[in-house]
Amino acid sequence: MVLPRPIVFGNWKMHGLRVESEALAGALAERAKRLTATLGVFPPFTVLGEVAARLTGTGIMVGGQDCHERPKGAYTGSISAAMLRDVDASAVIVGHSERRHGLGESDALVRTKAETALAEGLLTVLCIGETEAQWLSDETLAVLDAQLTGSWPAGATAEQVIVAYEPVWAVGTGRTPALDDIERSHAAIRHRLQRLAVDGADVAILYGGSVKADNAAEIMAVPGVAGVLVGGASLDAAGFWSIYQAGGGA
Ligand code: PEP
């Protein structure tokens, strides 16, 4: 099933103890009476099960922020795709810039993680994005093309994978690209997707990087933008709900 647009996902990153996470999930559940678009949250592993339980029946998706590239084994401290499913997550983020650049994850590793997640039936949110240096030296489109080609899971379809374009220099900085630049990057991603997937024209492409309630509407109106992946601003239920509404969600 292709998800209703806009698609608004919140990445809680390493924020939220149980009491805060349950409160945030509860505040979203109260607002989500009958979703007309797609809303999802990606809490820390420790609270995933509780958040998923709190959101049962609301239509709000719940996913993990990462998974290990192997299905199981002696990988101390890691979380498998099956473990995410086991606590009722239906999606996972792979290739977030905080893992690619902070932890040195390569395209090949991200691709293996995506393939493992798909084998477990998880909707996979595949993040790609250029660094500030690459942006300044006008390498953005080439970098996006290489990352997408290198990390796209073999044989994946539009029902299985969502691409999130997140310029590294825009994540958590309060800075965003010009709307024209977002459109240009999304068009380039679409161009590559049409060569990577049989239904590449239908793969949803999100924008992520300093999306807030006051810029969400104009970003989601950019041609080719199917929705947004929100970090910091997803930690406040009212603000996150405003972003969802800014895209036309009710
Ligand atoms: C993210 O973590 O994916 C993100 C886009 O963060 P922020 O919205 O805080 O820039």
Arithmetic mean of pLDDT over the chain: 97
Q: What band does 2 get if pLDDT is binned at 50, 70 and 90?
A: confident
Centroid of ligand 1 to alpha carbon of 10 (angstroms): 8
Q: Could you tell me the distance, in angstroms and rounded to a whole number, from the CA of residue 154 to the centre of ligand 1?
A: 27
Q: Which of 99, 166, 225, 235 to mutate to test the pocket of ligand 1 (most atoms within 8 A of CB)?
A: 166
pLDDT at residue 221 is higher than 80? yes
CB atoms within 10 A of CB 210: 21
Catalytic residue among 69, 105, 115, 166: 166
What pLDDT was estimated at residue 133?
98
Q: Is 166 a catalytic residue?
A: yes
What's the confidence (pLDDT) of residue 68? Answer: 98
List the residue whose alpha carbon is closest to atom 5 of ligand 1.
Answer: 209
The answer to whether the CB of 150 is under 6 A from ligand 1 is: no
> How many CB atoms are closer than 10 A to CB 175?
12
pTM > 0.85: yes or no: yes
Asked if pLDDT for residue 98 goes beyond 80, the answer is yes
Other CB atoms closer than 10 Å to residue 2's CB: what's the count? 13
11 lines ligand 1 (CB under 6 A): yes
Is the per-residue pLDDT at 157 higher than 80?
yes
Q: Which protein residue's CA is at the shortest distance from atom 7 of ligand 1?
A: 231
Residue range 31-88, pLDDT digits in tens? 998 899 999 999 999 999 999 999 999 999 999 999 999 999 999 999 999 999 999 9
Ligand 1 nearest-atom number relative to CA 170:
10
What is the mean predicted confidence (pLDDT) over 208-220?
98
Residues 6+ apart with CB under 8 A from 172: 210, 231, 232
What is the pLDDT, as a whole number, of residue 29? Answer: 97
Q: Ligand 1: which residue has its CA nearest to atom 4?
A: 231
Q: Does the Cβ of 66 fall within 6 Å of ligand 1?
A: no
Number of neighbouring beta carbons within 10 Å of residue 173: 12
CATH architecture entry for 1-65+139-250: Alpha-Beta Barrel (3.20)
Known catalytic residue at 105: no
Tokens of 169: 């220099």
Q: How far is CA 34 from CA 55, 88, 173, 242, 250, in A?
A: 13, 20, 33, 15, 7
Residue 169 has pLDDT above 90, yes or no: yes
Q: Which of 11, 14, 169 to mutate to test the pocket of ligand 1 (most atoms within 8 A of CB)?
A: 11
Length of the chain: 250
Which residue, by CA, sits nearest to atom 6 of ligand 1? 231
